[in-house]
């Protein structure tokens, strides 16, 4: 870098920091990982601090310190608040729900009804389940629910099952 270029950069540090802000914010918009946004905020602070007579090396150190502090202390709060990460799908929301066995569940076959819909089911273990048994959905693999018998059966097998009538007519 020749003397003129270095002089140009040093004379326009607020604009350099503004460019860093825009680049970091743009990258964050593309990735949505809540990582570079903290560097964008650090660079935005540096836009104003660079107006003070602070040496460029100290400015870079301040930028790293401010951005690192924002990343370490505010990102975990933002991630929790914004629920960044794996989003629960409708199918994933079935885990922990109760279902009713409609066709005997064996190692190779079976069916349950949950929320009024029939699903292919297998036992989440060795236990076979008879029709009418109330079970709990333990996991989902593809379109097959893996279920286990509920600890306490409610009698008619439909009490508390979402989408099921309480009385049969």
Same domain assignment for residues 97 and 44: no
CATH number at residue 140: 2.40.50.140
Same domain, 96 and 77: no
Q: Which residue has the tokens 């107006």?
A: 51
Segment 56-75 mean pLDDT: 94
pLDDT at residue 153 is higher than 60: no
Domain holding 50, by residue range, is 3-82
98 and 130 belong to one structural domain: yes
9 and 75 in a single domain? The answer is yes
131-151 confidence digits (pLDDT tens)? 999 999 999 988 899 999 988
Q: Would the pTM count as exceeding 0.75? A: no
Task: Note the pLDDT tens digit of each residue in 1-48.
Answer: 677 887 877 889 999 999 999 999 999 999 878 889 999 999 999 999
Q: Is residue 162 part of a domain?
A: no
Last residue of a domain, one of 28, 48, 82: 82
């Amino acid at each position: 870098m020749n003397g003129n270029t270095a002089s140009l950069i040093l004379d326009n540090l607020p604009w350099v920091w503004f460019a860093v802000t825009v680049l970091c914010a743009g990258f964050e918009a593309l990735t949505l990982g809540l990582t570079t946004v903290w560097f964008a905020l650090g660079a935005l602070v540096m836009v104003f601090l660079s107006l003070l007579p602070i040496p460029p090396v100290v400015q870079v150190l301040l930028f790293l310190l401010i951005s690192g502090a924002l990343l370490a202390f505010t990102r975990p709060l933002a991630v929790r608040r914004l629920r960044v990460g794996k989003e629960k799908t409708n199918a994933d929301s079935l885990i922990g729900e109760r279902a009713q066995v409609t066709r005997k569940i064996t190692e190779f076959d079976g069916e349950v009804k949950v929320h009024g819909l029939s699903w292919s089911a297998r036992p989440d273990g060795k236990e076979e389940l008879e029709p009418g048994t109330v079970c709990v959905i333990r996991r989902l693999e593809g379109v097959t629910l893996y279920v286990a018998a509920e600890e306490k059966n409610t009698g008619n097998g439909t009490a508390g099952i979402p989408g099921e009538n309480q009385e049969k007519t």
